[in-house]
Amino acid sequence: MIAPETEQGVAEAIRAAHDARQPLAIEGAGSKRGMLRPVRAAETLTTRALTGITLYKPAELVISARAGTPIAEIEAALAEKGQQIISEPPSPLGVGGATLGGIAATNLSGPRRIAWGSMRDHMLGIRAVKGDGEVFRSGGRVLKNVTGLDLCKLLSGSHGTLGVLTEITFKVLPAAEATGTLAVSVPDVAAGVRALSAGLGSPFGVSGAALLPGGLASLGLAGPVALLRIEDFAESVTYRKGRLREVLAPYGDVSLVEGAAARSLWRGVRDVTFLDAAPDEAVWRLSVAPSAAAAVCAALPGAKLMLDWGGGLIWVAGEASEAMHAAVVAATGPGSFTLFRAPDALRGAVAVMPAEPAPLAAISARVKALLDPAGILNPGRMGR
Amino acid sequence: MIRLPAPKPEVMARRPQILAGLAALVPADALITEELRLRPYETDGLAAYRQMPLAVVLPRTTEEVAAVLRFCHQQGVRVIPRGAGTSLSGGALPLADAVVVGLMRMNHILDINFEDRYAVVEAGVTNIGITQAVAGDGFFYAPDPSSQLACMIGGNVMMNSGGAHCLKYGVTANNLLGVKFVTIEGEIFEVGGTHLDGAGYDWLGLITGSEGQLGMVTEVTVRILRGPEGARAMLAAFSSIPIAGQAVDAIIGSGIIPVALEFMDRPCIHACEAFAHAGYPLDAEAMLIIEVEGSVAEQDALLARIRDICAQFSPISMKVAESAEQSLAIWKGRKGAFGAVGRISPDYLCMDGTIPTGELPFVLGRITQMSEQYGLGVANVFHAGDGNLHPLIMFDANDPASFAKAEAFGADILKLCVEVGGCLTGEHGVGVEKRDLMTVQFTADELDLQRAIKSAFDPAWLLNPAKVFPLEGNKVLDAA
């Protein structure tokens, strides 16, 4: 495992691999190693030794850190100034330790994404190394920037296949003074999504909207429960909870969750631990229009389910088989899917994400060849 | 003046055949070829630059756009995509051998879905048109560029337009779910959809803000948001720019993210007051307009907090709007700022750099010095929360020397923005205006990489060429 401590070290390692045509698995802490397809590479390049916050300007709402910096370290530094990472980075399935680079390269976001945007939305600038060892920058450190093509977004969610991120600058926001959570007991997923849509369509600033089809034992709720969160100044949270309760009343019994119980609830949603996936089960992450969620869930009887983002983000756990995978893909329809975790045999055999339309795939291949001419960065990871 | 590539002689020589070919692809009223009717398309919001195109096509469908692009690609004809032509950076400036493809007849709203909070619209729908279509149900489309009455969503996507409220709601890129995209080869495909954050490369993010370099967008799926219960503004005036800057820092440091936080300097305050009679304090060196949202009680609470913070910086005056009407009055001067400056100077250039907000006092001080050196007036109005400056450089377009000085002054300001850690353009785009300054912000290798990505979409550089990337060092585009 190659673990450079500097960007130059990353560049040299990649240049050497490029020259030798030696494929590299690219990772940070390796917490999402099981996502998508197995990488075809004997050697691993990790950014985990490339750490440290390089710039933090609380008044400018901007922070920069090297790619291997643990998310927890960044969150701690921000918390000292009363700020937070806007997109609420998850530790999916309870696997923690993620680095900033890993979260950026996978563009995974937590519950707050529905109101305040994804990790990708807040990336202001990157430094990265191409597959030939050349360093490049895109964006910068200011909040508004439309200068040139936006390669920050192209690299976010590229799973290390278009370049290795070495430093990321992103926007942060003040952490809310107070939080309020409402739990609505709903008869089924369809009603739950309607409750979430009613909340998100209200003027009360809902910043989390999740649905637990299996209920919530800790609150003694056996049936499906919709969860809505408000984060704001204390007086606003008090006022908005009351108004939101009125909005949600037609959808089921509404209860309030406070304090540590509420924090633990949203951590469970963020980290998808409510999915309760067994170790031998495969896990899929689907993104659909929320109104399609009920039909998606109905098409997957027997699967474990957890919904976030107003019903638009559906986590599915079930049998690790090609038949189950086919059922999940069919249920997703025009939405998007990711095979998030599965045994190598399954994830090596099936399409782990939707294919690009043919004309786009041709462009995509040309862009990949530009950024990774020898095809050494995470080969196979995204299915090619 | 910025150099444009020479027209391709073989295209100019074949104009009749090219027009005949286009005429076969679109209805007769969708093709404009006579000089009088081409004239409105010779320029855009950067009116100092003018160039008549070969022809203008105004398609009504995605299929017509694709047919026109396919034909132009086969014929080696350059294409200039155009929305409403409100670009302040010359993004829609034609070339003599190019066909302008305008979106204004693709102006239908195709679908509105309140449960899933999106709208699907054709690319020629105006920015305000989206909000008007959903406002009856309490929703809005968040990015609000000053040109929102005229500018079109397709142009907004291509320029990644911002607005006064993006500190809270983000820019265009943060409010899109999908687009229908047409390549220069005439291929049509969807990017994104009605869901968030699909798996795979973020082509939507790359296309947004690509300034017509990669392809054309004919349909756009935008997120729509439920509006707040209400919004109200206050103004606070200060005796110096650094003190006003400290007040901005203190507001944000307190945990408040106002929905808008606008900054005006003395020349701008005076110009706006003479124009709008908004009651702005004429003895102030700097003034903030701060807007908050929520119920009336929430507005009161937030405005009280902000008032207390501003009070620590010895404000010359503060005025909290007591009603929506008073709020509108406070905004009236700001919204009319460009027009107000237009009244006191025959012409102005509107610059658009962004700086780290901590550099505000230094940069505004330097701009004042440069204003004296160049002998040209400048008024500053900008989005303070995000550091996006809009210096308005006043000049006389009838005097070529004055225009040359204004351009040099503008370039100096943008270089300064990059020097202090900022960028050339926060929301107006590079276009033709800032093309030759790109080497200030990017290395030659970085520019080559961006050019190569354009080439992956448009190998012959037919789409909006001579914009964004300097002609020097361009290996494909003939810059003779």
Give the orientation angle of helix B15-23 with respect to helix B62-75, to 10 degrees: 150
* CB nearest to B195's CB, from A117, A287, A338: A287
**H or E element at residue A212:** strand A206-212
Low-confidence ranges of chain B (pLDDT < 70): 478-480
* A60, B358 contact by CB (below 8 A): yes
CATH code 3.30.70.2190 region(s) in chain A: 178-271
In A, which residues are within 8 Å of B134 by CB distance?
none
In B, which residues are within 8 Å of A156 by CB distance?
202, 205
What secondary structure, in 3-state letters, does chain B show?
A: CCCCCCCCHHHHHCHHHHHHHHHCCCCHHHEECCHHHHHHHCCCCCCCCCCCCCEEECCCCHHHHHHHHHHHHHHCCEEEEECCCCCCCCCCCCCCCEEEEECCCCCCEEEEECCCCEEEEECCCEHHHHHHHHHCCCEECCCCCCCCCCCEHHHHHHHCCCCCCHHHHCCHHHHEEEEEEECCCCCEEEEECCCCCCCCCCHHHHHCCCCCCCCEEEEEEEECEECCCCEEEEEEEECCHHHHHHHHHHHHHCCCCCCEEEEEEHHHHHHHHHHHCCCCCCCCCEEEEEEEECCHHHHHHHHHHHHHHHHCCCCCEEEECCCHHHHHHHHHHHHCHHHHHHHHCCEEEECCCECCHHHHHHHHHHHHHHHHHHCCCEEEEEECCCCECCEEEEECCCCHHHHHHHHHHHHHHHHHHHHCCCECCCCCCCCCCCHHHHHHHCCHHHHHHHHHHHHHHCCCCCECCCCCCCCCCCCCCCCC
In A, which residues are within 8 Å of B450 by CB distance?
148-149, 151
pLDDT of residue A327: 98
CA A48/CA A22 separation, integer angstroms: 21
* Complex confidence, ipTM: 0.97
Q: What is the pLDDT of residues A319-355, one digit of tens each?
A: 999 999 999 999 999 999 999 999 999 999 999 999 9
* CB nearest to B255's CB, from A109, A177, A200: A177
Residue among B332, B340, B154, B163 at smallest CA distance from B259: B163
B243 close contact with A: CB closer than 8 A: no
**Token pair recorded at residue A301:** 């009887």
pLDDT of residue B473: 78
Interchain CB distance below 8 Å, A236 and B206: no
Task: Tell me which fold the domain A178-271 belongs to.
Answer: Alpha-Beta Plaits (3.30.70)
pLDDT of residue A313: 98
CATH code 3.30.465.10 region(s) in chain A: 7-174
Residue among B225, B215, B90, B113 at smallest CA distance from B157: B215
Full set of structural domains in chain B with CATH: 109-226 (3.30.465.10), 231-338 (3.30.70.3450), 345-419 (3.30.70.2740)
In A, which residues are within 8 Å of B426 by CB distance?
142, 144-146
Residue of A nearest to B418 (CA): A140
Sign of CA dihedral B413, B417, B423, B426: negative
Residue of B nearest to A384 (CA): B200
In A, which residues are within 8 Å of B256 by CB distance?
174
Q: Which residue type sits at A296? A: V
Mean pLDDT taken over chain B: 95
Reduced to 3 states (helix: H, G, I; strand: E, B; else coil), residue A93 is helix
| Rounded average pLDDT per 10-residue block, chain A, 384 residues | 98 98 98 96 98 96 98 98 97 96 98 98 98 97 96 97 98 95 97 98 98 91 95 95 98 94 96 96 98 98 97 98 98 98 96 97 98 98 86
CA A337/CA B178 separation, integer angstroms: 16
Q: What is the pLDDT of residues B36-86, one digit of tens each?
A: 999 999 999 998 899 999 999 999 999 999 999 999 999 999 999 999 999
Task: Tell me which fold the domain A7-174 belongs to.
Answer: 3.30.465
- A18 φ, ψ to 5°? -60, -50
Distance from CA of A147 to the nearest CA of B (A): 6
